[in-house]
Amino acid sequence: MKKLIVTLNGSQEIELTSQEIAIIEQNKIKYEQEKLTQEQAKQDAETKKASGKQKLLDLGLTESEVKALIGV
């Protein structure tokens, strides 16, 4: 794996050190974990919203009343 160094005199490619490669790999893992966490949080919010809507309907509210309350 290489990195590009750009200066006023031009540019050059330099091999990454094993430490730099390890950092890149760790960052990739962190990114994927954060992405999964955010996707799960979004899914959980959608599930809770649907559950809340159904509970309101089960209590006897009409669809239009629920929509007025929570916009769904």
Give strand ranges (E) for the chain. Answer: 2-7, 10-15
What SS3 state is found at 30? Answer: helix
Indicate the domain borders of the chain. 2-70
70 confidence band (pLDDT: 50, 70, 90)? confident
As a whole number, mean pLDDT of residues 9-20 equals 95
> Mean pLDDT score of the chain, rounded to an integer?
94
If you average pLDDT over residues 16-29, what whole number do you get? 97
pLDDT band at 72 (very low <50, low <70, confident <90, very high): low
Tokens linked to 45: 């919010």
How far is 53 from 25, CA to CA, in rounded Å? 42
As a whole number, mean pLDDT of residues 47-65 equals: 94
C-alpha–C-alpha distance, residues 15 and 41, integer Å: 39
